[in-house]
Amino acid sequence: MKINGITISGGTNGTSGTSGSQGDKGGLQYTFEGGFTFPSPGGFTYQYNDDYYAINISPTDNDGNSLANYFNSILGSVSAKVYITSNTNGVATVDVWDITVISTYYSDFSLSGFLIGNSTNFTIGDSYSINIVFAGSNGTSGTSGTNGSSGTSGSNGLMRLLAFSGTTGTPTPGTNTVTTTYSVLIPANTLSSNNILQLVWRMYRVTGNAGQMSSRIYKNTTNSQVGATQIGSTLTMNGGSTQFLGYSERNFSYNGTNITTFVNTTFSEYTTGSVQSTSFNNAVDNYILFTMQASTSLEIANMDLMKVFIYG
């Protein structure tokens, strides 16, 4: 370029500056803390339930932002997917959850559902991005098309959480009456051949420590103990010691006609016992009745945890 007859050339380019640090990825920023702790994970963190049916999450993210109002605005039954990815480039960690209920958990929030895909290499203490995607509302129905030919039978599905409770049920009334603590409906045609019914509950000594407390599980086609059939064994906690909580589990196979478990008074199934098969008509509604009984009027018995899963 010439100015007043004088040629002026441009200067050389300066050196490039150093690259800035990686920014956070899209989504809520939280630190992974592993399995559930009691009563809550603390600020900036999230956890997985031991049975992988819930995410426990703090209302405060890594940046110190309070998300309590956001979570409170979406409490209740939902249809959503949660995608969790690493906040570090080059780390291929992805978890995908189907979420059906969002509730409070002490001072935190619980996102309940089930894990449908995971990478298994999440690292405790690392930062992750959490994205909650809600299903859109249904559009108007179109006109029905002609029926197509029947497809081949699909494979069995995954584990389904039918019911759960993390709060106490109905207590015994201060007598030795067998009391239904929780009642769970299994709607008609829910179970099919080659399914597994898993029942998990925890016996709870509320007051007293003098006598035994017993737990029994029944099934019936009505929500009543009248005419009900006991399935599994009677489990007991003795008085006069430190038996205040008893975590119990029974698994039932289903062949389309009978549900089968073993007979033993142990709380877990990591042992042997004789076979018990009970008729189960899947064509009608069935109820599972979780019951407690205190042996004397000096005790009150209850349960403080219940889960019902179906596999297949």
When comparing pLDDT for 92 and 306, which is higher? 306
260 pLDDT above the threshold of 90 = yes
Average pLDDT, stretch 120-137? 75
pLDDT given at position 279: 97
pTM > 0.75: no
Residue 71: DSSP 8-state: H
pLDDT digits (tens, 9 = 90+) for 273-301: 899 999 999 999 999 999 999 998 889 99
pLDDT given at position 49: 64
Burial string for 124-140 (b: 16+ CB within 10 Å, else e) reads eeebbbbebeeeeeeee
pLDDT given at position 59: 81
Q: How confident is the model at residue 194 (pLDDT cuts 50, 70, 90)?
A: very high
Q: Which two tokens stand for residue 77?
A: 């039954």
Average pLDDT, stretch 95-112? 81
Q: How confident is the model at residue 38 (pLDDT cuts 50, 70, 90)?
A: very low
pLDDT given at position 270: 83
Please state, for a pLDDT cut of 70, what percent of the chain lies above it: 79
Q: How confident is the model at residue 171 (pLDDT cuts 50, 70, 90)?
A: very high
Residues in Cβ contact with 262 at an 8 Å cutoff, skipping those fewer than 6 apart:
269, 272, 273, 274, 275, 276
Listed residue (141, 163, 110, 173) closest to 300, CA to CA: 173
Residues in Cβ contact with 133 at an 8 Å cutoff, skipping those fewer than 6 apart:
80, 81, 82, 83
Burial string for 248-280 (b: 16+ CB within 10 Å, else e) reads bebbbebeeeebbbbebeebeeeeeeeebeeeb
**Top-confidence range, 37-51, 143-157, 268-282:** 268-282
User: How many Å apart are CA 146 and CA 310, to the nearest integer?
Assistant: 34
Q: How confident is the model at residue 13 (pLDDT cuts 50, 70, 90)?
A: low
pLDDT given at position 302: 96
Cα atoms in the 13 Å half-sphere on the side-chain side of 26:
4
Q: Which residues pair with 76 in a beta bridge?
A: 102
Q: Which two tokens stand for residue 171?
A: 């207590």
39 pLDDT above the threshold of 50 = no
In total, the chain counts a number of residues equal to: 312
